[in-house]
Amino acid sequence: MNHLDEIRAKINIEDIVGGFVQLKKAGRNLKGLCPFHNDSRPSFMVSPEKGIAYCFSCNTGGDIFKFIQLIEKVDFPGAVSILAEKAGVRLPEFKPEAHNEKLRILKANDVATNFFANQLKESKKGMEYFIGRGLSEATIKEFQLGLAPDSYTALRDHMKSADFDEKLLLDAGLISQRSIADKSTYGRFRNRYMFPIHDQQGNAVGFGGRIIGDGEPKYLNSPDTPVYNKSFVLYGLTMAKNAIKKEDLAIFVEGYMDVIAAHQAGTKNVIATSGTALTAPQLKLIKRYTNNIAFAFDADSAGMEATKRAIELAQEAKLNIRIIQIPDGKDPDECIQKSPEAWKEAIKNSVKAMDFYFAHAFSIYDQNDLDGKKAILNLLLPLIKQASTNMEQNEHLQRLAYELKTDAQYLWQDMKNLAQKKVYRPASKTEVSAPQKETFSREEYLLGFILEHPDLYEIVHSNLIDVTSFDAASEKIYKALKKVYNSRSVIDVEQVRAELSEEDQERLNVLPMLVEEYYPDFSQEAAKKEVTSLIRQINMKNIRASQKEFEFKIRAAQDPGERTLLLNQYSQILKLANKI
Ligand SMILES: [Zn+2]
């Protein structure tokens, strides 16, 4: 048992929260006025069973450590020491061995970086690859690019001869073990072009490797290690940080080659995430250098999704956001190879997030057709609603009204109706009091039920049509459920938890509470009925959405072949709709 578990075992959540909030019993849980927002009716729920306190109105809360962090305004170590004192638990002393291990791993990464760089120098084909992609020898050296030879043993044996033992190399993610049964080891990176990843102090903390020729996976990254946490590291930041400060702007691109090409072209304030989508900690890191960021992601649909999510995150982090649109839908690397001037021009012509959304909406839908107009509204109104002042909302709505040739007052009305439409009320009429704020989707309720009754997942698995539009946080949980079920044919919530980041684990804890809150004392049979009904509603909603999309596409299709193909797909959707 570590000291955190010991504290958890000795302290009850209800006692801790009870010190700040007057709690009353409500079924299995306790309820009180939320201390984190101006609460007029009890919205703060405490689950002694789960060790969690959470407000469903302002979405704030967590376990005992999170609660103390929030209410005492301290960081995690601060909360641990407050609670350790209450619990009478002695905290472990600072461990120099752990620190030493980190230093040894950094040293090992350094030696590996040199090994890969030397392998590249000796490989004519390897050098030709990078030079063929437009890089100079100076750039190759500056970014310490390298090559991992096509060998299971070369790196491992080199590292061992430099006095690093296998345990350390495993911890550093440089070698892997064949299996739990077969403990023999081999180099993690083989037959790859190597991109060392540095922290902001310039230490090599991990590697990204691109396959030489064709093969899977195309990119392989170091696993998270004691010195490398993907969510906290930005590729290229060591080389970019001075330029970011000077320009007062950080430009995010998608790939390693995009960063390197941009630096070589003289735009040095460019960075990328490595092996993850953009995270909140990465934005916090960049905030040390500037409040202005720009995204130059690929123009394909994946890049478009990435841009939308990045904008949302950056808005939460209160950063000023611009979007760089690369001409002809290329990625930055391609664009720079052809014309560094076009790249610099694109940076100069960056647009605000809302301009980007407007351009996107009007490029995919027809603004002269009623269905097209509706689709544009569906895309833009929720985004406009997020704007923090009425003045901004008004400005965007005026512009939208002008483009759609309608009156802004109708759009105001549509925007106001938006939140109410999303509301989902539980089907059972008895005993369910209307909650103060209903912002939960059917998908979230469904996940709540599954986490409360994991054996009901089977119904989801065989009935939910897999085009479901979950929100970002729920989607991760849904995917984790699917993964666990596919590998074991049964849902073990702890396995699901292991698939999730710490942030998403919190969601996992909270969703079942949602069900407990709105469906008190639900039997297994009633839960099953409710799950079946939720699945049906979600399927219907999704089918209707894709039906509409196809109707629009069919009308817009110019090419007869494309039209036939779309009609075929459309008739399959109709069949599916009839089945439901
Ligand atoms: Zn609250």
Number of domains in the chain: 5
CATH number of the domain encompassing residue 559: 1.10.860.10
Would 360 be classed as within a structural domain?
no
Would 126 be classed as within a structural domain?
yes
The secondary structure element, H or E, covering residue 195 is: strand 192-198
Alpha carbon of 133 to ligand 1 centroid (Å): 53
Q: Out of 39-43, 332-336, 523-527, which region has the weakest mean confidence (pLDDT)?
A: 523-527
Q: Which of 419, 434, 456 is the last residue of a domain?
A: 419
Alpha carbon of 3 to ligand 1 centroid (Å): 30
| pLDDT at residue 434, as a whole number | 32
The secondary structure element, H or E, covering residue 192 is: strand 192-198
Would 356 be classed as within a structural domain?
no
CATH number of the domain encompassing residue 125: 3.90.980.10
Alpha carbon of 106 to ligand 1 centroid (Å): 43
User: Would you place residue 100 in the very low, low, confident or very high pLDDT band (cuts 50, 70, 90)?
Assistant: confident
Shared domain for 473 and 563, answered yes or no, is: yes
Are 311 and 355 spatial neighbours (Cβ–Cβ below 8 Å)? Answer: no
Asked if the model's pLDDT at residue 141 lies above 90, the reply is yes
Shared domain for 402 and 450, answered yes or no, is: no
Alpha carbon of 36 to ligand 1 centroid (Å): 5
Quick one: average pLDDT of 68-88? 87
Would 357 be classed as within a structural domain?
no
Are 189 and 148 spatial neighbours (Cβ–Cβ below 8 Å)? Answer: yes
Alpha carbon of 438 to ligand 1 centroid (Å): 13
Shared domain for 521 and 564, answered yes or no, is: yes
| pLDDT at residue 507, as a whole number | 80
Alpha carbon of 38 to ligand 1 centroid (Å): 7
Are 169 and 159 spatial neighbours (Cβ–Cβ below 8 Å)? Answer: yes
Question: First and final CA of the chain: distance in angstroms?
Answer: 50
Shared domain for 82 and 157, answered yes or no, is: no
Shared domain for 178 and 222, answered yes or no, is: yes
Alpha carbon of 56 to ligand 1 centroid (Å): 7
Decide: pTM greater than 0.75.
no
Would 369 be classed as within a structural domain?
yes
Shared domain for 428 and 408, answered yes or no, is: no
Residues 161-211 have pLDDT tens digits of 999 999 999 999 999 988 777 788 899 999 999 999 998 778 999 999 999
Q: How far is CA 205 from CA 57, 209, 307, in A?
A: 41, 14, 27
CB atoms < 10 A from the CB of 288, how many?
A: 10
Provide the H-helix boundaries in 207-352: 237-247, 256-264, 280-287, 301-316, 332-338, 340-348
Are 464 and 539 spatial neighbours (Cβ–Cβ below 8 Å)? Answer: yes
- Answer with the residue of higher pLDDT: 114 or 3: 114
Alpha carbon of 33 to ligand 1 centroid (Å): 8
Alpha carbon of 201 to ligand 1 centroid (Å): 39
- Answer with the residue of higher pLDDT: 579 or 455: 455
Shared domain for 113 and 56, answered yes or no, is: no
Would 566 be classed as within a structural domain?
yes
Alpha carbon of 468 to ligand 1 centroid (Å): 29
User: Would you place residue 40 in the very low, low, confident or very high pLDDT band (cuts 50, 70, 90)?
Assistant: confident
Alpha carbon of 416 to ligand 1 centroid (Å): 23
Would 359 be classed as within a structural domain?
no
User: Would you place residue 518 in the very low, low, confident or very high pLDDT band (cuts 50, 70, 90)?
Assistant: low
- Which tokens belong to 234? 């930005």
Distance CA 144, CA 575 (A): 56
Shared domain for 41 and 158, answered yes or no, is: no
Quick one: average pLDDT of 480-501? 88
- Answer with the residue of higher pLDDT: 218 or 466: 218
Shared domain for 83 and 108, answered yes or no, is: no
Q: Which of 87, 115, 132 is the last residue of a domain?
A: 87
* Mean pLDDT (the chain, rounded): 86
Alpha carbon of 392 to ligand 1 centroid (Å): 27
Alpha carbon of 68 to ligand 1 centroid (Å): 15
| pLDDT at residue 101, as a whole number | 82
Alpha carbon of 517 to ligand 1 centroid (Å): 15
Q: Which of 70, 87, 104 is the last residue of a domain?
A: 87
| pLDDT at residue 94, as a whole number | 53
Shared domain for 134 and 196, answered yes or no, is: yes
Alpha carbon of 60 to ligand 1 centroid (Å): 6
Alpha carbon of 46 to ligand 1 centroid (Å): 12
Would 355 be classed as within a structural domain?
no
Residues 6+ apart with CB under 8 A from 196: 109, 113, 116, 143, 144, 145, 146, 204, 206, 207
Q: What is the DSSP string of 133-144?
A: TT--HHHHHHTT
Percent of the chain with pLDDT over 90: 40
Shared domain for 412 and 271, answered yes or no, is: no
Q: Domain span at residue 396?
A: 365-419
| pLDDT at residue 145, as a whole number | 98
- Which tokens belong to 158? 């080199």
CATH number of the domain encompassing residue 71: 3.90.580.10
* Exposed/middle/buried for residue 479 (C-beta within 10 Å: 0-12, 13-18, 19+): middle
| pLDDT at residue 152, as a whole number | 92
Shared domain for 387 and 487, answered yes or no, is: no
Alpha carbon of 85 to ligand 1 centroid (Å): 27
Residues 399-455 have pLDDT tens digits of 999 999 999 999 998 888 876 544 343 333 333 333 333 456 788 888 988 988 888
